[in-house]
């Protein structure tokens, strides 16, 4: 089971629209730009409203008393107004360029790199490493060490998706046939919610992910655990469930260290280390897990995971086999 610091659990409860506050250097400059633009727009609206009101209620001389030749008198105000607006807009252009430059790449070199591939409707996450034996695949939950920039390559297996973890970085599209890049960094430990933000079909709303930012030693522990194959003792002890899995599930799912090598569904080797299943739709509890396996099509219509009509006995052996996948 994954044990999270209480701080992390609190952060996970913060709604996704908390992009008004951010927690890392890839997101902060854009957040400040957003504040400045909002503040300035409000100030301009206010000033224009006041000027308009002043113009409306201002006392005017009667028509027949207006001096001839007075028509062009206020023109210098037009020049002043246009001048100030131009200066402000020009200043904002420069400020925006500075922000874009600042979030373009991290200030220190990145040690860690992942590839995230968008599928309808979940995320495959591959940890890269120079040594192929240390690479591994997981799904929907990206772990990163606190205070370190990480590099992410973004791909798509089907249609256009977009990767967005609002508190940590801006959104980046995942386009089939292209590799886009993004970096992010979390300054505080916590769970940061993300979401696909490019409409990608009927399951789009249920395509969430979580970024778990941990202290270096917790991250290291997690990394080592993920690199392991599934425990072979568990497989031999849970034979009936294992066989059922091989028969029904192995064509799509991988469990490293077994013959299950399906590539186009979430890697289940360390299923129980994950906090949620089905890209954020359900919590990873034994009940919700079985609910998902038997009713995936009802819970996430159109998903590539079929619903399985399992007998009570099949469900129970499968559940006890799946419970070994920590």
Contacts (CB under 6 A) with ligand HEC, residues 119-158:
121-122, 139-140
List the beta bridge partners of residue 190: 213
- Scan for tokens 């696909």, then name that residue: 196
Two structure tokens written together for 267: 């890697």
User: Which of Cu ion, ligand HEC, none does residue 278 bind (CB under 5 to 8 Å by kind)?
Assistant: ligand HEC
Contacts (CB under 6 A) with ligand HEC, residues 50-109:
none
Nearer to ligand HEC, 99 or 200 (CB): 200
Site map for ligand HEC, 251-270, x if CB under 6 A?
A: xxx-----------xx-x--
Stretch of residues binding ligand HEC (CB under 6 A), selected from 76-84, 108-116, 149-157, 298-306: 298-306
- 196 contacts Cu ion (rule: CB under 5 A): yes
The CB-of-319 to ligand HEC minimum distance in angstroms stands at 9
User: Which of Cu ion, ligand HEC, none does residue 175 bind (CB under 5 to 8 Å by kind)?
Assistant: none
Nearest residue to 157 via CA among 202, 121, 127: 121
The CB-of-155 to ligand HEC minimum distance in angstroms stands at 16
| Total site size for ligand HEC, rule CB under 6 A | 27
Q: How far apart are CA 264 and CA 124, in angstroms?
A: 9
Give yes or no for a contact between 164 and 171, defined as CB atoms under 8 angstroms apart. yes
User: Which of ligand HEC, Cu ion, none does residue 139 bind (CB under 5 to 8 Å by kind)?
Assistant: ligand HEC
The CB-of-238 to ligand HEC minimum distance in angstroms stands at 13
DSSP letter for each residue of 179-219: -EEEEE--SS-EEEEEEE-S--STTGGG-EEEEEEE-HHHH
- Other Cβ atoms within 10 Å of 113 Cβ, number: 15
Nearer to Cu ion, 154 or 200 (CB): 200
The CB-of-97 to ligand HEC minimum distance in angstroms stands at 39
Q: Which of 116, 200, 271, 317 binds ligand HEC (CB under 6 A)?
A: 271
Nearer to ligand HEC, 23 or 238 (CB): 238
Q: Which of 53, 176, 306, 313 binds ligand HEC (CB under 6 A)?
A: 306
Helix (H) or strand (E) holding 33: helix 28-57
Stretch of residues binding ligand HEC (CB under 6 A), selected from 15-23, 30-38, 89-97, 276-284: 276-284
User: Which of Cu ion, ligand HEC, none does residue 83 bind (CB under 5 to 8 Å by kind)?
Assistant: none
Q: How far apart are CA 179 and CA 172, in angstroms?
A: 11
Q: What sign does the dihedral 189-140-225-151 (CA atoms) show?
A: negative
Q: What sign does the dihedral 296-265-277-177 (CA atoms) show?
A: negative
Sheet of 180-184, strand order: 136-139, 122-127, 112-119, 150-156, 180-184
Two structure tokens written together for 91: 């200043």
Q: Output the CA–CA distances (angstroms, integers) from residue 230 to 84, 190, 193, 257, 314, in the order listed.
A: 66, 27, 28, 6, 21
Give yes or no for a contact between 34 and 166, defined as CB atoms under 8 angstroms apart. no
The CB-of-261 to ligand HEC minimum distance in angstroms stands at 13
- 303 contacts ligand HEC (rule: CB under 6 A): yes
> Which chain residues interact with ligand HEC by CB under 6 A?
121-122, 139-140, 203, 248-249, 251-253, 265-266, 268, 271, 274, 277-279, 289, 293, 300, 303-306, 308, 318
Residues near Cu ion (CB under 5 A): 161, 196, 200, 204, 207
């Amino acid at each position: 089971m994954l044990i999270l610091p209480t701080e992390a659990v609190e952060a996970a409860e913060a709604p996704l629209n908390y992009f008004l506050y951010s927690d890392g250097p890839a997101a902060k400059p854009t957040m400040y730009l957003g504040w400045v633009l909002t503040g300035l727009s409000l100030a301009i609206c206010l000033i224009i409203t006041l000027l308009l009101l002043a113009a409306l209620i201002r006392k005017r001389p009667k028509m027949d008393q207006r001096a001839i030749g007075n028509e062009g008198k206020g023109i210098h105000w037009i020049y002043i107004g246009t001048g100030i607006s131009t200066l402000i807009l020009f200043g904002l252009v420069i400020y925006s360029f500075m922000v874009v430059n600042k979030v373009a790449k991290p200030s220190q070199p990145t040690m860690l790199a992942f590839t995230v591939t968008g599928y309808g409707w979940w995320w495959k996450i591959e940890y890269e490493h120079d040594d192929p034996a240390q690479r591994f695949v997981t799904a929907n939950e990206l772990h990163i060490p606190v205070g370190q920039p990480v590099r992410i390559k973004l791909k798509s297996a089907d249609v256009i998706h977009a990767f967005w973890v609002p508190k940590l970085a801006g959104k980046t599209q995942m386009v089939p046939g292209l590799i886009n890049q993004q970096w992010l960094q979390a300054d505080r430990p916590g769970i940061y919610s993300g979401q696909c933000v490019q409409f990608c079909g009927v399951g789009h709303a249920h395509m969430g992910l979580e970024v778990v930012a941990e202290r270096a030693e917790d991250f290291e522990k997690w990394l080592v655990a993920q690199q392991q194959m599934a425990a072979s003792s568990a497989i031999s002890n849970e034979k009936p469930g294992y066989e059922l899995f091989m028969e029904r599930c192995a064509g799509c799912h991988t469990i490293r260290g077994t013959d299950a090598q399906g590539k186009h569904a979430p890697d289940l080797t360390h299923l129980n280390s994950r906090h949620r299943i089905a890209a954020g739709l359900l919590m990873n509890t034994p009940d919700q897990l079985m609910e998902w396996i038997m009713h995936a099509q009802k819970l996430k219509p159109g998903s590539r995971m079929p619903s399985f009509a399992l007998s009570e006995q099949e469900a129970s052996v499968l559940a006890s086999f799946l419970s070994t996948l920590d």
